[in-house]
Structure formats: structure tokens, C-alpha cells
Structure 1
């Protein structure tokens, strides 16, 4: 049986990035934190943290953290059942989520549950193709991702599909595409992307125009709201989810650059298979709201339109 104080010290050091901040969080001395981690490393015969700035977990450390967070969740549920939650009555839940879901349907899915069960959300935002790594590393108990493949010890639940269309303002189209939307014009027109992990623009341009990922200029905008705003201002075009783009197209603020050509992104909920009441509640709420706001899989048998 591993020592919970040592596990808590490891978690605090990795989350805070330093021994000093971890000590403040745990209300102990820095040497006590260092000693607990050293004892845990000796107990397991593995180096668990890389002592850089900021400190981060080794691969073995990530596995230990995953174990700690799983048993912490089960312990929180037990305490809640015995009316012994934390001193303020809250339960902390870490979830990996993509920015577009966070901006649109996700808050509606969990707002009632968060209030009813007194949850504190720790949302870790990444691209939908990358959030599963957060689950693998033990940083979250569940994630929304585009991958349908469940990891060992986890379950995968289909949520729905989000169509993405390449949108632009009229001013942008007049300036960069005076002779129509062509591959040649795209090579000189700035495109917005969320991060270096965002592959939607690359996939769209490769699929429909044969343009490689390094053949066009781009803005990198790590905010879903600012991403759309940049496009509305005529500074770029970009792949916008249906829920954000529909009203902008209907009002004439933005136009679809290639009507009928779009990409559909499938979303799945991956979560630890713990038999936990909270896990079941999270899953039920997400599936229910996704059914209301996302498009069904059968509406998009092909994820590229036209395929």
C-alpha cells in the first residue's frame, strides 16, 4: 500500500511545478515535500519527477499520478456518501476538453451536475486530437476527443459530430480571392489555426486544394472566441464549427468559402472504467446534451464532404 501523503506530495509538486509552491499548498516545509517524494521513489525504485523548472513527471511518475487520482476520486465519492466531502463540501474533477466544445455545448452539459453535486471543475484545454494524451498521462479522469479507440482501463462513448466549414468575411474574400477561391490564392492568404496541433485547416486544404501544411501563411490563435473574431475582422479565414458559424453566415457577417465542402469531426467521451457514481453521472449528462446539440453520426457517414 502506497503512502497517501507521499502520493499527495508528488501530485502537488507536478501540478504546482516546484517544491516551494507544493509545500505552501500542503502546509508543510519544502524539505518535507522533498523527503516524501524521495521516500516514494525509493519505495518504487523509480525516478518519478524531473527536477527542472518547472518540475514535471517522468513516465513512471505519470503512472503513479494516474493511480493517485483514481483512488482520490473513489475516496471523494466515499466521503460524499458519508457526508464527509472536503472542508468546503466540494469534489474536484479534472476533464480534458477541446476549445470549441468548451465554447459551445459543454457548459450546458455539466452546469446542472456541477451545481447539484458541488463539483470543482479543473478543465484542461487541448485540441480534440490531443486530449486523450491527458487521460493517458493521468491528468484527467475523462476527456472529449476525436479518437474512437479506448485505452486499457477506460470506456469510450460516442457523443456526436460537429461539421466545420471554412468561413471568411466579404472583405477578406475581395482582398485575397478577387478571382475566386483557388489553390493559388490560398497559398498567399492568411489562415487561422488554434495551435500547432490543430490539423483541420491542413486537412481541408490538402483534401480540396492539394495544398501542403507549409504552403500557406497562418495566424495561430489559441482561443476559440478570438479565432472567430479574427475571421470576422477579415484578417484570416478558418474552419469554424457549425454552432458558432451558423448565425454568422445567416446574418451575412461571414461566408462559406466552398459551399458543400466541409469536414465533420466526431467526438467521443473517454473515461476511467471505475464503476464510480460520479463517472456515470458525468457520462449520462454529456451523452444527453450531446444528443441535443451535436449532429448524429449517421448524418455523416463520411467525415469529408464530399468524400
Structure 2
């Protein structure tokens, strides 16, 4: 049986992205952290950590961390029952989420849960089509994803749909799309994209222009708020979710580049099939909150 103090050291180094910060978090010396991880590797007979900047788990390390986080979640209920936690102690929920959900509906949806539970959020922000990999790797205990099929050992819960539309300022459209958004214009006009792994804009262009394979200039803005600001300043056009448009005071200063054409993205909550009571309560709150805010799935 593995010593969970050793597992805790490995998890801290990966989560804090360094031995120094892990030592501070666990109130240990850096040498003690290093010794615990070496001992764990000796016990398992495998290298669990790539000593880089930042340190990264090996495939074997990812499996160990996934096991550790699952046990942590299940044991949280016992801590409540047997009063093993201090009164002011918190349970940390490490979750994967896409930036647009975080910027719009996620926090309002789980506010009732946060009001009544003694938990801390630790959010890893990734594109909605790759967050499920965080769960498969054991980096998180649950994630919001656009993929319907959950990883092995996990369950998917439908949340709802976020609808995106191509938006730009009227001046931008007059300059770049004088005859409307055509295939040729899409190859020349500067787009605004979240990051280089975000394929949503290209997918939208493919839905408008079958087999669209042309390169196009793009700004890469990895912030939902600043993403919209770049569009509102007239530097490019891009996909903005309806939920975010509703929150913008200056929403009337933007116009649809492809009127009547939208990109609906279904969202799912993926988490372990075997859940602690706490994680089950979070799942219930998130599913209900998503149903209250997101568009229903058809």
C-alpha cells in the first residue's frame, strides 16, 4: 500500500509547478519533498516525475496522481463524518473548464453550492475540446467539455448549449466585408482567436464555406474579456457567445458577420463514475445551474 504522504508530495510538486512552492504549501523543506518523491519512485519501481521547468508527471506519474485525487475525493466524506478536518479547513476541487464558461455562466451557476459548502476552487482553463484530457490524465476530478463521450471510468452529464456568432464592428465589416463575408474575404480579414489550439473559428468558416482550407491572418488573445475588446476596437472579427453578448453594455456596437448563422457548442460535465457525496452534490448543482442558464440541448 502506498504512503499517501509520498503521494501528497508528488501532487504538490505538479500542482505548484516546482519543488520550492510545494515545500511551502506542505510546510516542509525542499529536500524533504525530494526525498519523499524518490522514495515513492523506489516503491513503485518507476520514474514518476520529469524534473523539468516546470516538473511534469510521467505517464506512470499521471496514473498515480489520478488514483490519489480519486481517493482524496472519496475520503472527504469520511473527514466530515469523523471530524478529521479542522473547523476552518477547506476541500479543494480541481476542475477543468473552458474560458468562455468561466467568463459567463459557471460561477453564477454554482454560487448556491459555494455558499453552503466549505470548498476551494482550483480551476485549470483549457479549450472546451481538450479539457477532458485533463480528466483522463488525472489532473482534475471533473471537467466541462464539448465532447459527449467521457474518459474510461467517468460519466458525462449534459449541461446545455453555448451559441457563438461571428461578430465585428460595422466599420470593420465595411472595410473587410463590403460584399459580405465571402470565402475570399475570409482569407484576408484578420480574425480573433483564443489561442493556437482553438479550432472554433476555422470550424465556423468550414460550415459557411465547405472544405475551407485557406490560411488567414489572426490575433491570438487568450482572455475572454480581452478577446471581445480586440473585436470591439475594430482590429478583427471573431466568435462571441450569446451569453457574453448579453452582458456587454456596448453590444449594440457590434454586428453579425454572417447573419442567421451560428455555432452551437454543446457542453458536458465529465467526472468519475464513482463519486464522493461532495462531488455528487457539486455535480447536481452544476447540472441544475447549467440548465438554468444555458440553451437546452435538442
* TM-score, normalization by structure 1: 0.92
1:11 aligned residue: 11
Q: Determine if contact 2:135/2:141 at 8 Å carries over to the other structure.
A: yes
Q: Which whole-Å CA distance do the structure 2 matches of 1:25 and 1:160 have between them? A: 37
Tell me if 1:121 matches 2:121: yes
2:288 aligned residue: 288
Shift of 1:73: 1.7
Q: Which whole-Å CA distance do the structure 1 matches of 2:248 and 2:29 have between them? A: 54
Q: Determine if contact 1:232/1:254 at 8 Å carries over to the other structure.
A: yes
| Aligned CA distance change for structure 1 residues 103 and 49 (closer, same or farther; 3 Å) | same
Cα deviation code 1:18-71 (max 9, x no counterpart)? 223322222222222112111111111110001112111101101101111111
Q: Which runs of 5+ in 2 are unaligned?
A: none
Q: Determine if contact 1:95/1:142 at 8 Å carries over to the other structure.
A: yes
User: Which runs of structure 2 are paired with 1:1-307 in the superposition (5 Å)?
Assistant: 1-86=1-86, 88-210=88-210, 212=212, 215-246=215-246, 252-298=252-298
Shift of 1:248: 5.5
* Higher RCO (CA 8 Å, separation ≥ 6 residues): 2
| Aligned CA distance change for structure 1 residues 103 and 213 (closer, same or farther; 3 Å) | farther
Q: Which whole-Å CA distance do the structure 1 matches of 2:189 and 2:72 have between them? A: 50
| Aligned CA distance change for structure 1 residues 196 and 180 (closer, same or farther; 3 Å) | same
1:305 aligned residue: none
Which deviates more from structure 2 when the two are superposed, residues 94-103 or residues 237-246?
237-246
Q: Which whole-Å CA distance do the structure 1 matches of 2:246 and 2:213 have between them? A: 27
The Cα RMSD (Å) is 1.8
Shift of 1:173: 0.6
3-state DSSP of counterpart to 1:163: strand
Q: Which whole-Å CA distance do the structure 2 matches of 1:24 and 1:193 have between them? A: 37
| Aligned CA distance change for structure 1 residues 241 and 8 (closer, same or farther; 3 Å) | same
Shift of 1:185: 1.5
- How many equivalent pairs are there? 298
3-state DSSP of counterpart to 1:47: coil
Q: Which runs of 5+ in 1 are unaligned?
A: 299-307
Q: Determine if contact 2:23/2:29 at 8 Å carries over to the other structure.
A: yes
3-state DSSP of counterpart to 1:297: coil
Q: Which whole-Å CA distance do the structure 1 matches of 2:87 and 2:54 have between them? A: 29
Q: Determine if contact 1:153/1:272 at 8 Å carries over to the other structure.
A: yes
Shift of 1:245: 2.3
Q: Which whole-Å CA distance do the structure 1 matches of 2:273 and 2:198 have between them? A: 29
